[in-house]
A and B are shown apart, each in its own frame.
Chain A
């Protein structure tokens, strides 16, 4: 029975550790869990009073903004796809031209990716005017960082024999890229790019609020005017947009990867 006792002991220890962390964070951040539960009915009433009935009167403007959001997400991904692919070529062990270039591109991709999109928006707002252009730049930065990483992983995972076969024939670097790397990795590159579009559409609300552009910009305006009933129609549109994009991209992905 010692096996089961060990397992139970491990589970108990994990539970104790979890509660300790929870307690520690509660004290550090001054979280009042009791108030959370006590105020819950209150919060729900507030929410219903503020956000309902849904005001659909500005839906035409919001639909245009949704269109902008889609375009920001797609063009950010396209830019990220092109720059990210070249970065990935330099990062992947199989295709890197030089170790120094590999290190530089890895660092660059890591900086682009690990600074959250909202922080990029705040930082770049110093020198760029807020609006669609800034949102596009922020999306391109984040997509480039993310796609460079996953693309380089896909290139690493591809079958090396095609590259080696071309090398043996004396093909140049770009010939190898064109005839071995791109055809072998294309489905996975595209599937990751679709994922990046999904991600961009999700984060477009935050980027829009901080950098302007798309539906997020309108959310910020409604928030400022406390026009919550109009905001709820925008929220509904965003939810529909996300659900539809997820559905469409997963269908395309199934077709590509099958």
Chain B
């Protein structure tokens, strides 16, 4: 082997003075630097040129007074506290309901979208439809159904379910596609039907992954259920209550409600990461 071809193989570059230098993997570094510089330029342009914030509206003394008022959560009357907690509880249930509905509806579609269960065409079409559904934000789905169903928690559930279902179709079908083709092949060889393959190989093999996706979504669903209330105006969820406290100037109750939301979200996060860690092992 000539010296030159050896050099090429080792990714070395011969400098004019005869020294060798390691060739860098340029394109990757270049892309990364370009993205970071681009992001920083956009930020500078946006913050200093586009925003044009009127700073005279902002006053530190006002913020200080506000914080002083907010921090007195001990002044929130007990019955109000109980009501806030019951609203948080309602919101948690709302999140649970959409997750359950989402899993039930998404399972058959997820199977339909998995390449190794159906054929390429069916999988592509199903995935495409759900990609479009996923591209429309949850809030818009809820808005669309307000006209027909009115502003109730039922409407919120229907709207939220759309996004949840498409989230699950994507993640479920990807988990199904990662199932070992050997176990499907083995069942096929014994003459098993499609349904037997699904219950005998695909579901048991992807079970832990499905559980960890469900845990992830349960966490997201709660956050979505919180913010859907104030944005659309769904009554009885904690988000709407927080917004009402703000407009009424009841700042200490607002902080208490936010604290409750934070604690529940934290609990969900801890539980979800536990479940995910267990599922991975």
Is B261 a contact of A36 with CB atoms below 8 Å? no
Residue A1 at the chain B interface, CB threshold 8 Å: no
Nearest CB in chain B: distance from A51 CB, A: 7
Nearest CB in chain A: distance from B222 CB, A: 8
Partner of A31, one of B47, B145, B148, B153: B153
Nearest CB in chain B: distance from A52 CB, A: 12
Residue A56 at the chain B interface, CB threshold 8 Å: no
Question: What per-residue 1/0 map shows which CB atoms of A47-83 lie under 8 Å from chain B?
Answer: 1001100000000000000001001101101110100
CA distance A44 to B145 in the complex (A): 8
**Which of chain B's residues 149-185 have a Cβ closer than 8 Å to chain A?**
149, 153-154, 157-158
Which residue on B lies nearest to A32, using beta carbons? B154
Nearest CB in chain B: distance from A172 CB, A: 24
Is A39 a contact of B140 with CB atoms below 8 Å? no
Is A255 a contact of B53 with CB atoms below 8 Å? no
Is A205 a contact of B139 with CB atoms below 8 Å? yes
Assuming the contacts A44-B148, A78-B40, A210-B231, asked whether A114 and B262 have C-beta atoms less than 8 A apart, the reply is yes
Is B135 a contact of A243 with CB atoms below 8 Å? yes
CA distance A159 to B93 in the complex (A): 42
Is B227 a contact of A116 with CB atoms below 8 Å? yes
Is A127 a contact of B231 with CB atoms below 8 Å? no
Question: What per-residue 1/0 map shows which CB atoms of B132-148 lie under 8 Å from chain A?
Answer: 10111101100111011
Partner of A71, one of B46, B62, B224: B46
Is A210 a contact of B230 with CB atoms below 8 Å? yes
Tell me which of B6-14, B29-37, B109-117 binds A.
B29-37
Which residues of chain A come closer than 8 Å to B154, judged between CB atoms? Answer: 29, 31-32, 35-36
Residue A171 at the chain B interface, CB threshold 8 Å: no
Question: What per-residue 1/0 map shows which CB atoms of A218-258 lie under 8 Å from chain B?
Answer: 01000100001001000100111011001000001001101
- Contacts between chains A and B (CB distance < 8 A), count: 193
Residue A119 at the chain B interface, CB threshold 8 Å: yes
Is B93 a contact of A206 with CB atoms below 8 Å? no
**Which of chain B's residues 90-119 have a Cβ closer than 8 Å to chain A?**
90, 93-94, 96-97, 100
Residue B201 at the chain A interface, CB threshold 8 Å: no
On chain B, the number of residues with a Cβ less than 8 Å from chain A's Cβ atoms is: 65
Which residues of chain B come closer than 8 Å to A111, judged between CB atoms? Answer: 262
Which residue on A lies nearest to B158, using beta carbons? A36
Residue B80 at the chain A interface, CB threshold 8 Å: no
Is A71 a contact of B230 with CB atoms below 8 Å? no
Which residues of chain B come closer than 8 Å to A35, judged between CB atoms? Answer: 149, 154
Which residues of chain A come closer than 8 Å to B62, judged between CB atoms? Answer: 127
Is B51 a contact of A132 with CB atoms below 8 Å? yes
Nearest CB in chain A: distance from B61 CB, A: 11
Is A74 a contact of B261 with CB atoms below 8 Å? no
Tell me which of A17-25, A93-101, A162-170 binds B.
A17-25
Residue B50 at the chain A interface, CB threshold 8 Å: yes
Assuming the contacts A129-B57, A131-B53, asked whether A118 and B266 have C-beta atoms less than 8 A apart, the reply is no
Is B66 a contact of A75 with CB atoms below 8 Å? no
Partner of B251, one of A45, A126, A128: A126
Residue A2 at the chain B interface, CB threshold 8 Å: no
Which residues of chain B come closer than 8 Å to A32, judged between CB atoms? Answer: 154
Is B231 a contact of A206 with CB atoms below 8 Å? yes
Which residue on B lies nearest to A127, using beta carbons? B63
Is B136 a contact of A235 with CB atoms below 8 Å? yes
Which residues of chain A come closer than 8 Å to B72, judged between CB atoms? Answer: none
Question: What per-residue 1/0 map shows which CB atoms of B247-270 lie under 8 Å from chain A?
Answer: 000010010001001100110010
Nearest CB in chain B: distance from A132 CB, A: 5
Is B100 a contact of A252 with CB atoms below 8 Å? no
Is A46 a contact of B100 with CB atoms below 8 Å? no
Question: What per-residue 1/0 map shows which CB atoms of B46-76 lie under 8 Å from chain A?
Answer: 1100110110011000110010000000000
Residue contacts A-B, CB under 8 angstroms, 6 given: A50-B147, A71-B45, A133-B53, A231-B143, A242-B135, A255-B31
Given contacts A126-B246, A243-B132, 4 further A-B contacts (CB under 8 A): A25-B96, A46-B147, A47-B148, A239-B136
Instruction: Please list the residues of chain B having a beta carbon within 8 angstroms of any beta carbon in chain A.
Output: 27-28, 31-32, 35-36, 39-40, 42-43, 45-47, 50-51, 53-54, 57-58, 62-63, 66, 90, 93-94, 96-97, 100, 131-132, 134-137, 139-140, 143-145, 147-149, 153-154, 157-158, 223-224, 226-228, 230-231, 239, 242-243, 246, 251, 254, 258, 261-262, 265-266, 269
9 shortest interchain CB distances as A-B pairs? A43-B148, A118-B227, A75-B43, A114-B265, A242-B135, A116-B223, A239-B135, A46-B148, A133-B53
